[in-house]
Structure 1
Amino acid sequence: MRTRSVLWFVAMVLLLPQLALASEFGSKGGPEPANLEQIAARLREDPYDLELLISFGTSKGGSAGHIALALRDDAAGEERVYSANFYADRDPAHASGRYTADLMVAIPKQEYLFKTVSTVAETASFGLDFGEIYKRSVIGVRVYGVPAADKAALAAYFRRINDDYHQQRSNTEYHHGPIRYDYLRLNCAKTIGAAFKYGAGYRDLEVTGATLFSGQRMVAAATANIPTEMAMKLIREWGQRNYGMDVVLYKKYRGSTYVDPQEEEKIAFKDLPDRFPSVLSLDFRREAGAYQDYDNLLAMYLLFNLGKYSVRVNEQTLLLEIEKSKDPIRYAEALRAAERDARADSEKFRRHSEFRPSGEGISEAPDNTHLYHFNEDVAGKVAR
């Protein structure tokens, strides 16, 4: 009996550190995947020039998500993400405990996606400014053949936006009104779009200006720049320039028990929705069930067709792994297939009939539990 007790004690001593590691993993200040640099180096073997990072939504309805841009600089040996700062809105409620020094935050890409400690500031937001994948999935559209001058112009324009913010300027070429974050009027999609339009010279890129009238937030919402819609506009621009493209899906780690202490609702990251970021459509307020709108299906199908890798944290080993891979389809063919399938499937959804979807989406349901069926048989899927 004594021997059995000793063995039980030894087993618990060996197990407790692993249990502690699992509970801390995915939390602010906790451990990170031990092989992060190895997987990052593997992904960098592909000579892409920039990566558009589209984050999933974390709310039940109206999940627009977030969009940011990573610029690659091999000479400096880094990739830096430029991301609009949700808290740089000059709201007194955000003056304490939130990072507000810059409107466009510059963050190392691996930190933005995977790290649990910020090099920007102690007040940077975990799950937003760093460690995104512990809170939500992220789609990365990698672009090849972008001139170095364009990348330099984009970085310079983000610095210009920050300067306008620091100087508290108003009414610039890219925005009418004060230069500060506004969820509808000067948001992540508009800042990224403005940098391409005015910095890199994408003159035909449509960047809307939402006008807000007293008591008419819905008027502004209808004309706001939406992350997925801006992504689709930029993908179209890159296709017209004959740039190469592929997609990496960075999957949400579903075991994070971290709760943001500054959020009103105390919800662990693992329990937050992980929704494909909707375009502004009839699906935008959809609470549950698969997206059915043509524009959402088109975005999901196109991004899947361009897909190359799916990256996740293995929940047993807590290491990063390239879970799935496939050959991406060239843009023109990928777009034609996505348009065809989105048109056919949205029409069938409108008829409320049971059918097997024509297209394969990067996400087919708001909880996104089965992303990237790269090499699996999906013939048995039935949409309702």
Structure 2
Amino acid sequence: MELLISFGTSKGGSAGHLALGLRDPASGDDMVYSANFYADRKPAHEKHFYTDDLMIRIPKKEYLFRTASSLGDKASFGLDFGEIYKRSVVGVRVYGVPAGEKHALAAFFKRINDDYHNRATKTEYHDSEIRYNYLRLNCAKTIGSGFKYGAGYKDLGVTSAKLLPARTNVVAAANANIPTEMAMKLLKEWNARGYGMDVVLYKKYEGSTYVDPYDAEKVAFKDLPNRFPSVMSRDFRRDQGQYEDFDNLFAMYLLYNLGKYTVSVDDNTKRLEIVKFSNPMAYPEAAELATRNAKADSEKFPLRLPFLPSGIGIGEPTDNSQRFIDDRNKKAVP
């Protein structure tokens, strides 16, 4: 089983995306379950995008690396498939998961699709019509609901963001399920169950000149931000730059401490290159070190003085001894 955490592509408020890969014995590949951003019943989306299912199910090779989709021409490149051409993806590989749990997850995601097709309302996992909503029924909530209601993770926190009368979406955003926050909850649950974990960083291919024709701003994928997906914090409101808040630093440091491989596209051969960059720590040690380093670094940022960070975040340069953070200019300096 593999939890797939996609980086964000906007300057501010980059929440990223969350999907789940489950091994398919027939194909030998994982099948990735991913909430469909366009399955929201809007006529314009139904006209131009793939909306047959709320929970898209495709092979992991297609989700990460393919440039054409088995879903057809309406599938969105860089979102439904071909993720690494648009952004990096962190894969948390989970070992020792019982087969029954994986079957229950797959069955629950099928049920979400059935509910979507039948326009079901007020289920135990959602209190209105089953269709995609960026704040109320998003990628993090569908994956979290799969574990809570499908696999029996009864104590897993899955929130229900509500809009109050005369209030704005800010009310819902404050209670929305966020990809990185849900990922951190799931890692704790897996550790409590005795499952093993390590991390693979699927690096963004930096050479893609593709421009999404439906994006308001016509920016080539290679020029889009590639930002670690933020938790709901002060960092979420900042433009591209160094994260400062404890929760973001903890998540970045924890995933680095669990890291084992990087996978990238070689620009010359256009073939995948797999590199082992570390021996992963066990989760308790990784979390303890991430907590200590995130606390130290989050306390130093407000001082606005150059300092050597204690931790290394996933996707950052590994030679931390060669860089200081000069927060006055929001950049790393030699």
TM over 0.5: yes
Per-residue Cα deviation, 1:156-196 (whole angstroms, up to 9, x for no partner): 00000000000001110000111000000000000000000
In the alignment, is residue 74 of structure 1 matched against residue 16 of structure 2? no
Counterpart for residue 188 of structure 1:
139
Aligned-residue offset at 1:324: 4.2
The one of 333, 354, 367 equivalent to 2:306 is 354
Distance 1:372 1:378, change over 3 A: closer
CA shift for structure 1 position 59: 0.5
* Cα distance in 2 for residues equivalent to 1:73 and 1:337: 35
Where 2:20 maps in the other structure, the secondary structure is strand
Write the letter of the residue equivalent to 1:120.
L
Please give the per-residue CA displacement for 1:20-50, whole angstroms capped at 9, x wherever unaligned. Answer: xxxxxxxxxxxxxxxxxxxxxxxxxxxxxx0
Return 5+ residue gaps in structure 2 as ranges. 327-334
| CA displacement 1:112-159 (0-9 Å, x = unmatched) | 000011012221110011110000000000000000000000000000
Summarize the alignment of residues 1-384 of structure 1 with structure 2, pairs less than 5 Å apart: 50-213=1-164, 214-363=166-315, 371=316, 373=318, 377-384=319-326
3-state DSSP of counterpart to 1:221 = helix
Measure the CA separation in 2 of the matches of 1:260 and 1:96: 16
Q: SS at 1:90's partner residue?
A: coil
Q: d(CA) in 2 for partners of 1:372 and 1:100? A: 39
TM-score by length of 2: 0.95
* DSSP 3-state at the match of 1:205: coil
Q: How many residue pairs are counted as aligned between the two chains? A: 325
Please give the secondary structure, in 2, of the residue aligned with 1:180: coil
2:214 is paired with a residue whose SS is coil
Per-residue deviation, 1:380? 2.2
Amino acid at match of 2:54: L
SS of corresponding position for 1:159: helix
Deviating runs (4+, > 6 A) in structure 1?
none
Could you tell me how far 1:260 is from its partner in structure 2? 1.1
Letter in 1 for 2:216: E
Aligned-pair CA distance for 1:378: 2.4
Amino acid at match of 1:123: K
Partner of 2:331: none
The amino acid across from 1:66 in the alignment is H
With structure 1 as the length reference, what TM-score do the two structures score?
0.83
Match of 1:17 in 2: none
Tell me how far apart the structure 2 counterparts of residues 308 and 245 of structure 1 sit (CA, whole Å).
Answer: 10
Aligned to 1:37: none
1:67–1:188 contact (8 Å) kept in structure 2: yes
Structure number, greater radius of gyration: 1
Code of the aligned partner of 1:172: T
Q: Percent identity?
A: 66
Q: Work out whether residues 4 and 92 of structure 2, in 8 Å CA contact, stay in contact via their aligned partners in 1.
A: yes
